[in-house]
Amino acid sequence: MTPPVIAFVGLGGNLGDAVATLRLAVQALADLPETRLLRASSLYRTPAWGLEQQADFINGAAMLETRLEARPLLEALLAVERDFGRERGAASRWGPRTLDLDLLLYGDAVIGEPGLQVPHPHLHERAFALVPLLEIAPDILIPRQGRAQDALSNLDISAIESLG
């Protein structure tokens, strides 16, 4: 049996009632097999990133304890996205979405496989992911990057609004 690993998932969305969607998505994460939800962050309103001419996003983070290996966990996250109407495709990169679930960290693993990059390759440069992550894990380290708090200190967080 695989020993439990602490994994962190970033949540985001900006279509429909994104707040309600993210709250339901957190429950869906808690219901994943061989997985337990340890913590979920507050939700935050954040400016769009990448493709900026779209509605603000709602973002959050979840801390999971899981016995799923990284690839099956990612596949489960993608299945949850599909359950919420997400259709991934090159045309939608950085575009509007009902739900985005990103595997940010999987223990202290560094994984570089097609379709699976852990830690998330842009985590250290995305305030919308770091702010909720640091709320639930203030001392977290990003493998090969260092302290998440140090990464956040280099970013502008002035437009991020906590929704409580």
The residue annotated as part of the active site, out of 31, 82, 97, 147, is: 97
The residue annotated as part of the active site, out of 100, 147, 150, 156, is: 100
Is 93 among the catalytic positions?
no
Question: CA-to-CA distance for 110 and 120, rounded, in angstroms?
Answer: 9
Q: How far is CA 91 from CA 12, 95, 112, 150, in A?
A: 18, 8, 24, 33
Helix count and strand count (H, E) for the chain:
4, 10
Q: Is residue 127 helix, strand or coil?
A: helix
Q: Is residue 49 helix, strand or coil?
A: coil
The residue annotated as part of the active site, out of 39, 67, 86, 144, is: 86
The residue annotated as part of the active site, out of 102, 108, 126, 139, is: 102
> How many residues in total does the chain contain?
164
- Whose CA is closest to 81, among 60, 98, 56, 105? 98
Is 97 among the catalytic positions?
yes
Is 102 among the catalytic positions?
yes
Is 156 among the catalytic positions?
no
Q: Alpha-carbon torsion 19, 25, 36, 144, what sign?
A: negative
Catalytic residue set: 86, 97, 100, 102
